[in-house]
Structure 1
Amino acid sequence: MVKTPIRIGITGAHSTGKTVLLRRIERELRAEGIRVARTGRLGRRAADIGLPKMHEHTAQSTEWIIAQGIADEIAASAQGADVVLADRAVIDALAYWHAALELRGEAIDLADDERLRLLAATQQAKYDLLLATVLDPATPAEPQRHAYDPRYRELVDHHVHSLLAEDSIEHHRVLHDPHNESQAVNAAVRLAQQLVPR
């Protein structure tokens, strides 16, 4: 029996095209008649309940974002989606936290780090495809959406790709290049066409 829903996650620094890429994938999948659910806005939702985000990220906010992301993906699955698009795969929150600590010059609490890595690892295998955007420093962040700090953005990019390498997590790197982005969209669509029962 084919496993559904298919889970496609995306990770990467802010303003590297994650949400736009997932919108493109969603549009293509819907055109194929595939039912899609998309999660997201975790950072904003964390801020709405008083948790710090971006360069103020803490172990507590990291845990909330990971746990809420897990809950959102389960809810999307329960609602009958063929494909769940996770805007911020679970590893994303870890990278943002590690980057925040480095930016602030704070040492990482090893107990917190181990616990949060274990929490993220329980979910990582659920992604059938993981897309990781790569920062193009020439492309500025959107100042109206993000507290713009070029150094923090670079650190997030570094920690995303370091964590993926450290844990040997299979992923597809997505460069800020129209051809490469289209390849990522096509890979997601082909996967869904192959695995979603028709």
Structure 2
Amino acid sequence: MSDVAGDTGRALVIGVVGAESTGKTLLVKELGRTLRERGLQVVTVPEALRLFCDREGCTPRVDEQRAIADEQTQRIAAAAERGNIVLADTTALMTAVYSEVIFGDRSLHAQALADHARCDLTLLTALDLPWVPDGIIRDGPQVREAVDTCLRRLLQEAGVPHALVMGKGLRRQANALSSIEHLLDAPARRQRQAGSSRWRWFCDNCDDGECEQHWLTRAASATASKNAEDSEQGEGGDAA
């Protein structure tokens, strides 16, 4: 296995998650093609839910959700034995999200988060693409926001770092690819950081200053600075 597999010698797993009709399947396909053209050994993992719907001709019942989540995790594990990079079209976490949103069932959360922890990078596809129908696998545009909200909540509560993927067409792919390149550069980056204490990246997932997570960080810092200035001015006025 080449150095791209990381410090542990195991495959790097990239989980692509997001609400329906946000381009996950196409993104995985295009990213896989691009990375293979660069000479990397990439295995893509299809969405177990889509495979179930195609096979059964219907959407799963609540009692079938756990098996679908387990199948997704097993497919990712099998892919990690065959390639240096795994691109997964969703993880068990998405099954847990849909179980909560559609059935009000939160019983899959703990195991799904534990399974998702195998991902070295989580790409979250944004809701900036128009909803399009796709047979029985789609629940409707009204469900997208609820799924996105639930997914973000679980990621945040579990402290799972994630990179938001936005944009249309090639721009969307380029944004996702930037986060992957940052992951692949991690060993060299750690060496650079060790050689210079001043070297600092924004986060462990990307160095894009326009990343949604960075906006929040900068906004919080700006608010704290403004509050400090207001406090100092208030104290000065009291002293006068």
TM-score range, shorter chain: 0.7 to 0.9
**Are 2:163 and 1:166 aligned?**
no
Determine the C-alpha separation between the residues in 2 that align with 1:157 and 1:84: 23
Query: Residues 151-197 of structure 1, C-alpha deviation per residue, up to 9 Å, x if partnerless?
Result: 122222221112212222111111244545412212213423556xx
Matching of residues 27-176 of structure 1 within 5 Å: 27-48=33-54, 50=56, 53=59, 58=62, 60-79=63-82, 81-101=83-103, 108-109=104-105, 113-114=106-107, 116-136=108-128, 139-144=130-135, 146-147=137-138, 149-176=140-167
TM-score (norm: length of structure 1):
0.78
Choose between structure 1 and 2 for higher RCO, CA contacts under 8 A separated by at least 6 residues: 1
How far has the Cα of 1:69 moved from its partner? 0.9
Matched to 1:9, the amino acid is G
Give the structure-2-normalised TM-score.
Answer: 0.66
Residue type matched to 1:122 in 2?
A
Q: Deviations over 1:126-157 (max 9, x none)?
A: 11100011113x61223457445221222222
The percent of aligned pairs where both chains have the same amino acid is 26
Q: Would the aligned equivalents of 2:11 and 2:81 in 1 still touch at CA under 8 Å? A: no
DSSP-derived class of the 2:88 partner: strand
> How far, CA to CA, are the matches of 1:126 and 1:30 in structure 2?
22
Provide the rounded CA distance (Å) in 2 between the counterparts of 1:141 and 1:158. 20
**Is the CA contact 2:69–2:92 (under 8 Å) kept in the aligned structure 1?**
yes
Contact 1:21/1:185 (<8 A) preserved: no
Distance between the aligned counterparts of 1:10 and 1:135, measured in 2?
A: 14
Please list every run of 5 or more consecutive structure 1 residues that lacks an aligned counterpart in the other structure: 102-107
CA contact (8 A) 1:28 1:189 kept: no
Are the structure 2 counterparts of residues 32 and 143 from structure 1 closer, same or farther at C-alpha, using a change threshold of 3 Å? Answer: closer
Higher CA-based Rg: 2
Distance (whole Å) between structure 2 residues aligned to residue 65 and residue 181 of structure 1:
27
Q: Is the 8 A contact 1:14 1:141 kept in 2?
A: no
CA contact (8 A) 2:13 2:86 kept: yes
Q: Is 1:9 matched up with 2:15?
A: yes
Deviation per CA, 1:32-79: give whole Å up to 9, x if none: 2111111113112223554963xx652x33211210011101211222
Give the distance between the partners of 2:175 and 2:81, measured in 1 at CA. 29
